[in-house]
Chain A
Amino acid sequence: MNQRFPIFGAQILGAMTPPTSRAAFNRANLVVRGQSGTILSVQLYTCEDAVEGSAFRPDQWEALLASGHALALPEPVSLVSGAALWVLRPTYSRRAAALNELRAGRALLRDYIAGNDNSWLCLVNEGTAYANTLRERWFHRAMKLAKSFALSARWSDVLAEAEIAFAIAPALDAEALALLSFAYERCGRSLRAEGTITMARGARGEDFAREVTQLRRSIENELSFITDFPDDPQVRTITQKLYQSGWLSPGVDGMLHFTSVNGYCLFLKELAPRIEFTLATVQNPLDFINEAFADYVTAILANGGQVGYILRTPEHEAEFDRWKDGTIRSMLRRLMPLRKIEDALMRLTRLPRTKLKFMHTQGITRLRGSDFLIGAEARQSQGTDGTTTSVHTVRPGDANDVLSYIVACLVDALTPAMNNDPTAEIADRAAAGWLLEAKLLDQSQEAAIRILLSTNPPEPRISEDRR
């Protein structure tokens, strides 16, 4: 029987939550006890500061607990309007960060409780806008991660994140359903892929199902070029770090391009809002590094332009050796003094030197013994395999300027988060960023990495105190 009583004086005894679930996130209604001793499972909080729900007897509550349908708190907690239980299960890949955000935003009524299957049971005040904002944010993060994994054809990871997004979403989202359906299909679960669309139709009608279907088709088209990509654990690590750090999100404007001699590519997009990386579909860098390219780079350098290109393979070095153009060699020799770069990074980021160690020890140090070109251009070229490569111009300057510019842009992109995010996430982001640099520069001997900067980039906004 439904009953209601005042919130004032009521206590939270526990919550109705399944003991286990495939979902990484569950939201559960609370079980509360009023001053009169009445126990009920909360269905709604009324505007008269009362709580309403299905009442049951104490022995029924005990039965609920005994049968594992509900959980009891170690001790009762005072009820506030809007309180609910959020269960962060171990399959939620970023639950530590999520918990920190709940804590930092003071959305928790008390610290989390360890539940079944190592779940974290969080009493959350949904009456505050912050809790719902967080849930939205987690949803968008999961969506972003799912898309990023899709770009590297990691379908099981795509599915995991799409399911997280679906579970967290407070309402059905057409794009999330489209991605979920797509992921099921790629994971060989065609029945559920179709079921997802059918479910959308059942929930919201034909128009909504059509929207989901169209979005799924868009996703398929967008990702069609990576269907047969091999699984590269290094690329996977980098991608994961990038997206977990929140630095990358899929888009259409820019991409960071990894390519290796055995002919596969990974496309990432939008390293930071103001740094654009160009899509390139070169299947083999050796196709790109040829006499024509040497002429091209020489011309660029002669005009004071810059191009970023990193080669690591012995074959590439041999290729360079065949280049007799002294201009290029001299450019390589005057490549940035390491210490100077490091100082610039520290000045820009105000991070300790330890944060730069990846770049120092694994990145630039190694790089110094390799070939590194700085030049500039903006053009498109046709590869031997018929694909198109875009190369964009960067502003004139030497190597220091380019790397400083990259870092400045990254810092600039991160500054709002640094100012607003009270958690340690920003430190993680920064660390992930340096790790990214390290990974970029520490590819296997087979790998070649090319970084192209955008055309006419804006001046980095570096505040005075950062200088």
Chain B
Amino acid sequence: MLTRLRESLEQDPPRAVAAETSRTGAQSLIQHCPLVHRTVWPTEPADERNPTLFERKNPTLQEILASGRLTAIAPCTQREVDCGIDRVVYFFLGCGAFPDGSVAFLARAAVLNTKRASYTPFDTGSLTHWSRPRDPGQSWEESDKAKFLADYLGVGGDAVAYSIEYVAAHFRSPPDYVCRPQRSDPDFATYHGLMSPSGDRRAWSIEVQLQEDLELDIEHLERIIVASHDLWLDIPDHLSGITPPAEPEGSILTAIHDYITMKQGA
């Protein structure tokens, strides 16, 4: 993964210079980035190839809290299954690129060193409908998507090192990776060639597929952000201190961005 990214930079010297300039900032940023899991949202993009795989009920917040964990479930697409991912909890590294849900669980990136995980520099689910190659002439059949996923699927333990280079290679100002709005593009076109016709950032945000359950405790979680005050009352006592409600109500994305920015600044 990293080799291919570096090779792409070598073919574009001005961009390589920009990446070199951004690297220190990117390192500082990524080292402070948690893994962001948005929920509670009951449905996920269905895979038209195998809709039965995805007919499931996502748990409510109360159910998640009662279980004490984010439970890894069957992946959204058959492509992921074909890549060896049999169970998954989805995160984005350092951003809330999945825009829906009333709660965001921010996991410590250190779990990537202790749990089985993988990552991609795009939303795996978006390959189905929302993202496509920038080159309009490139074939984008299911087999192409499957190959694309396999080509850009990294091992979880490498995610941080990769992400530093990835952010440096795509942003003149690394914090922009965190704060860019849902519909936005990086400063430099994605090296993997994927883009979203609607400009959705999921075409370039780094997704982490945690392939084990994540325990809901302060060892694994940095923070939980709830959309409104009332939800905080549902949070168990031992997690109440790391669960600020978003202000103003509902602005979870802003709260995530503010947190990461604050953390980096601190």
Give every chain B residue within 8 A of A23 (Cβ-Cβ). Answer: 229-231, 233-234
Report A185-223 CB contacts with B as 1/0, cut-off 8 Å.
Answer: 000010110111111101110000000000000000000
Asked if residues A202 and B241 are in contact (CB atoms below 8 Å), the reply is yes
Question: Could you tell me the dominant secondary structure of chain A's interface residues?
Answer: mixed
Report the minimum CB–CB distance from A101 to chain B (whole Å). Answer: 19
A26 to B62, CA, bound (A): 14
Asked if residues A163 and B233 are in contact (CB atoms below 8 Å), the reply is yes
Is residue A29 contacting chain B, with contact meaning CB distance below 8 A? yes
Contact A21 B233, CB 8 Å, known A67-B42, A69-B42, A171-B247: yes
Report A37-69 CB contacts with B as 1/0, cut-off 8 Å.
Answer: 000010100000000001010001001101111
Report the minimum CB–CB distance from A121 to chain B (whole Å). Answer: 14
Name which of B200, B230, B231, B234 has the most chain A CB atoms within 10 A of its CB: B230
Is residue A104 contacting chain B, with contact meaning CB distance below 8 A? no
Contact A69 B60, CB 8 Å, known A22-B233, A196-B240, A199-B241: yes
Is residue A167 contacting chain B, with contact meaning CB distance below 8 A? yes
Is residue B249 contacting chain A, with contact meaning CB distance below 8 A? yes
Can you show 19 pairs from A to B with CB atoms below 8 A apart?
A18-B60, A21-B230, A21-B233, A23-B231, A23-B233, A29-B250, A67-B57, A67-B60, A163-B233, A166-B229, A168-B229, A172-B245, A191-B237, A192-B240, A195-B238, A195-B243, A199-B232, A202-B242, A203-B244
Give every chain A residue within 8 A of B233 (Cβ-Cβ). Answer: 21-23, 163, 166-167
Is residue A251 contacting chain B, with contact meaning CB distance below 8 A? no
A167 to B233, CA, bound (A): 8
Name which of A56, A169, A170, A203 has the most chain B CB atoms within 10 A of its CB: A203
Is residue B191 contacting chain A, with contact meaning CB distance below 8 A? no
Q: Point out residues on B near A: beta carbons under 8 Å.
A: 40-43, 57-58, 60-62, 99-100, 102, 130, 182-183, 198, 200, 223, 228-234, 237-245, 247-250, 259
Give every chain A residue within 8 A of B100 (Cβ-Cβ). Answer: 41, 54
A191 to B217, CA, bound (A): 14
Question: Could you tell me the dominant secondary structure of chain B's interface residues?
Answer: loop
Asked if residues B230 and A167 are in contact (CB atoms below 8 Å), the reply is yes
Is residue A20 contacting chain B, with contact meaning CB distance below 8 A? yes
A224 to B64, CA, bound (A): 39
Contact A189 B237, CB 8 Å, known A1-B130, A63-B43: yes
Give every chain A residue within 8 A of B183 (Cβ-Cβ). Answer: 2
The chain A residue with its CB closest to the CB of B41 is: A69
Is residue A358 contacting chain B, with contact meaning CB distance below 8 A? no
Asked if residues A194 and B231 are in contact (CB atoms below 8 Å), the reply is no
A172 to B249, CA, bound (A): 10
A198 to B244, CA, bound (A): 9
Is residue A16 contacting chain B, with contact meaning CB distance below 8 A? yes
Give every chain A residue within 8 A of B234 (Cβ-Cβ). Answer: 18, 21-23
Give every chain B residue within 8 A of A20 (Cβ-Cβ). Answer: 62
A168 to B229, CA, bound (A): 8
- A63-B43, A167-B233, A172-B229 given; name 11 further pairs at CB < 8 Å: A2-B183, A18-B40, A27-B230, A63-B42, A168-B229, A191-B240, A196-B240, A198-B240, A199-B232, A203-B245, A204-B247
Give every chain A residue within 8 A of B247 (Cβ-Cβ). Answer: 171-172, 203-204
Asked if residues A2 and B237 are in contact (CB atoms below 8 Å), the reply is no
A345 to B237, CA, bound (A): 51
Report the minimum CB–CB distance from B94 to chain A (whole Å). Answer: 18
A63 to B54, CA, bound (A): 11
Report the minimum CB–CB distance from B33 to chain A (whole Å). Answer: 17
Chain A stretch 252-306: residues in CB contact (< 8 A) with chain B: none
Asked if residues B249 and A27 are in contact (CB atoms below 8 Å), the reply is yes
Give every chain A residue within 8 A of B248 (Cβ-Cβ). Answer: 170-171
Give every chain B residue within 8 A of A204 (Cβ-Cβ). Answer: 247
Q: Of the candidates A43, A163, A199, which one forms a contact with B250 in the assembled complex, judged by CB atoms under 8 Å apart?
A: A43
Give every chain B residue within 8 A of A230 (Cβ-Cβ). Answer: none
Q: Of the candidates A54, A166, A198, which one forms a contact with B241 in the assembled complex, judged by CB atoms under 8 Å apart?
A: A198
Report the minimum CB–CB distance from A397 to chain B (whole Å). Answer: 51
A196 to B243, CA, bound (A): 9
Contact A167 B229, CB 8 Å, known A56-B43, A203-B245: yes
Report A392-411 CB contacts with B as 1/0, cut-off 8 Å.
Answer: 00000000000000000000
Give every chain B residue within 8 A of A19 (Cβ-Cβ). Answer: 60
Is residue A243 contacting chain B, with contact meaning CB distance below 8 A? no
Closest 5 CB pairs of A and B: A198-B241, A195-B240, A23-B230, A195-B241, A203-B244
A194 to B231, CA, bound (A): 18
Give every chain B residue within 8 A of A163 (Cβ-Cβ). Answer: 233
A43 to B229, CA, bound (A): 17
Give every chain B residue within 8 A of A195 (Cβ-Cβ). Answer: 237-243
Is residue A25 contacting chain B, with contact meaning CB distance below 8 A? yes
A108 to B147, CA, bound (A): 54
Contact A202 B43, CB 8 Å, known A18-B62, A54-B100, A170-B249: no
Name which of A41, A67, A199 has the most chain B CB atoms within 10 A of its CB: A199
Report the minimum CB–CB distance from A64 to chain B (whole Å). Answer: 5
A2 to B57, CA, bound (A): 22
A223 to B240, CA, bound (A): 25
